Structure 1
Amino acid sequence: MTEAMTDQPAAESTTLIELDLWSDLVCPYSWVAKRRIEAAIAAFERPHDVTVRLRAFELDPDVPVGGGVPVSEHLSTRYGGGDAGTGRLMNAKASEEAQADDLVFDWDRAVRANTFDAHRLCALAGEMGGPALRSAAFERFHAAHFGEGMALDDHEVLQRLSAECGLDERRVAAVLASDEYGEQVRADEREARSMGVTSTPFVLANGYAALSGAKPVDDYLALLRGVATQSV
């Protein structure tokens, strides 16, 4: 999704809608929300007046790096007290929610991951190629995690996925070997938490109109239209 400006003559009033989407790269509902927001923008009367900023949020910043723990097992431990059925039920619910969004979830392969470094690379993508490249990184990381069983905290995996998105390999390696963009990730998270956000996805339009959770396309479209009316 690219940043777009209005093509109306300068003499006319224009509406600019800024959407901030906080998401985690291992959150299935974040992926669903992004796709539905894109669909809502496509259906909106003035899509070129909408800008989307993808913001970082870690659902579990303390999750250990590595280990190859299956997502279902991790969810069962965190939310179900070790009951193996908890993770399976949560995964099934996410798959059902995403059926209409053409998203692939292979829960037999998906593994738990710490997403801090992947978020840092999304920030790098935004600097290198703007919203379009950051969106591409977001999509590739989600697909790798949910559909291909790749660990998003493995630097070799991140290096390969970033190259597939078009990021400079040497630049990616330098970021992974440093703490670059870490403060940007933390700043996104601090801002979200200052608003009471504890889960993803979370959408904020023009700094005041919010939706949490993965909503239907019509809800995002109504948000856009409502904010447009207020902005005139």
Structure 2
Amino acid sequence: MTVQVEIWTDINCPFCYLGKERFEQALTDFAHRDDVEVVHRSFELDPTLSADESGPVIAKIAHKYGISQAQAAANERGIGAQATELGLPYLTEGRDYGSSFDMHRLLHHALAQGKQDELLDALYRANFAEQQSLFGSHERLVEIAVATGLDESDVRAVLADPDAYAAEVRADEQEAAQLGATGVPFFVIDRKFGVSGAQPPAVFVQALNQAWADREPAVQMVGGADVCGPDGCELPVRG
């Protein structure tokens, strides 16, 4: 018996980066963690971005939310402090943003190869913890993907074909909308329980325990007694 957890995320989203770590911490406190299947789903924070569009994150945040760049920088430092508490590296200055569509296509390819989780971690590290830009270069994506164990020729073929896994990405995004997700990270457990945001580990543990209990038989058997069934009746043992 397994519990399936689907997680809608975007590589541009710092709370997805934090949320993944908090969820994984929660798994260590979940008694049935070996019976949890995790699948990462695609969600673009800005699907209108073109493949060659990028720029400084702080300026983008200031424009999007109508705040000053000083306020945006302070927000980044606050997120960085949360990352530090979780033991995650985080660059609070000098990061950029861009289209994540090709990354999501690669993540679907990685899922088929059993490397999705490794690639997602590598993309998060590249975006949030490394100086070199993640956006605007297929060579950078090839380098990251190959380092996770994916075949270079396969990775290049996916990136060269804009239709490769595009339908899977769009299907994930449409499904997120149907499920009522308006932001990420968005966690769905067994298609019955939803958790929105980078919640504390205790919240995820509670949701996992609830999902596990919900999978138990509706009738709990207590004790035992002589019964009759299709193969006859149990005979009492006589001394």
How does the TM-score come out when normalised to structure 2?
0.85
User: Of Structure 1 and Structure 2, which has the larger fraction of its residues in helix?
Assistant: 1
Query: Counterpart of 2:116?
Result: 134
The structural deviation recorded for 1:188 is: 0.5
CA deviations 1:51-99 (Å, max 9, x no partner) are 1111110011112434551111111111126x21342133123213222
| Distance in 1 of aligned mates of 2:65 and 2:50 | 17
The structural deviation recorded for 1:175 is: 0.6
Query: Counterpart of 1:194?
Result: 178
Number of positions where the alignment pairs a residue of Structure 1 with one of Structure 2: 214
Contact 1:22 1:192 in 2 (8 A): yes
Which aligned runs of 4 or more in structure 1 are off by greater than 6 angstroms?
none
| Distance in 1 of aligned mates of 2:10 and 2:54 | 19
Contact 1:126 1:134 in 2 (8 A): yes
| Distance in 2 of aligned mates of 1:153 and 1:172 | 16
Query: Counterpart of 1:206?
Result: 190
Matched, 1:122 2:104: no
The structural deviation recorded for 1:167 is: 0.9
1:171 aligned residue (154, 165, 170): 154
| Distance in 2 of aligned mates of 1:194 and 1:161 | 32
Matched, 1:88 2:70: no
The structural deviation recorded for 1:26 is: 1.3
Contact 2:95 2:128 in 1 (8 A): yes
Query: Counterpart of 2:207?
Result: 223
The structural deviation recorded for 1:107 is: 2.7
Runs of 5+ consecutive residues of structure 2 not aligned to the other structure: 217-239
| Distance in 2 of aligned mates of 1:175 and 1:147 | 25
One-letter amino acid of the structure 2 residue matched with residue 91 of structure 1 = E
| Distance in 2 of aligned mates of 1:69 and 1:209 | 37
Q: Secondary structure at the match of 1:21?
A: strand
Contact 2:4 2:190 in 1 (8 A): yes
2:125 aligned residue (129, 136, 143): 143
Contact 2:54 2:136 in 1 (8 A): no
Matched, 1:107 2:89: no
The structural deviation recorded for 1:153 is: 3.9
Query: Counterpart of 2:4?
Result: 18
Runs of 5+ consecutive residues of structure 1 not aligned to the other structure: 1-14
Contact 2:23 2:201 in 1 (8 A): yes
Alpha carbons of structure 1 residues 163 and 221: separation in structure 2 relative to 1, 3 Å: same
| Distance in 1 of aligned mates of 2:108 and 2:71 | 33
| Distance in 2 of aligned mates of 1:168 and 1:100 | 35
Q: Secondary structure at the match of 2:164?
A: coil
Contact 2:80 2:92 in 1 (8 A): no
One-letter amino acid of the structure 2 residue matched with residue 134 of structure 1 = Q
Give the root-mean-square deviation of aligned CA atoms: 1.4
Matched, 1:45 2:27: no
The structural deviation recorded for 1:19 is: 0.6
Larger CA deviation: 150-159 vs 163-172: 150-159
The structural deviation recorded for 1:100 is: 2.0
Contact 1:32 1:214 in 2 (8 A): yes
Contact 1:68 1:111 in 2 (8 A): yes
1:34 aligned residue (1, 8, 20): 20
Q: Secondary structure at the match of 1:146?
A: helix
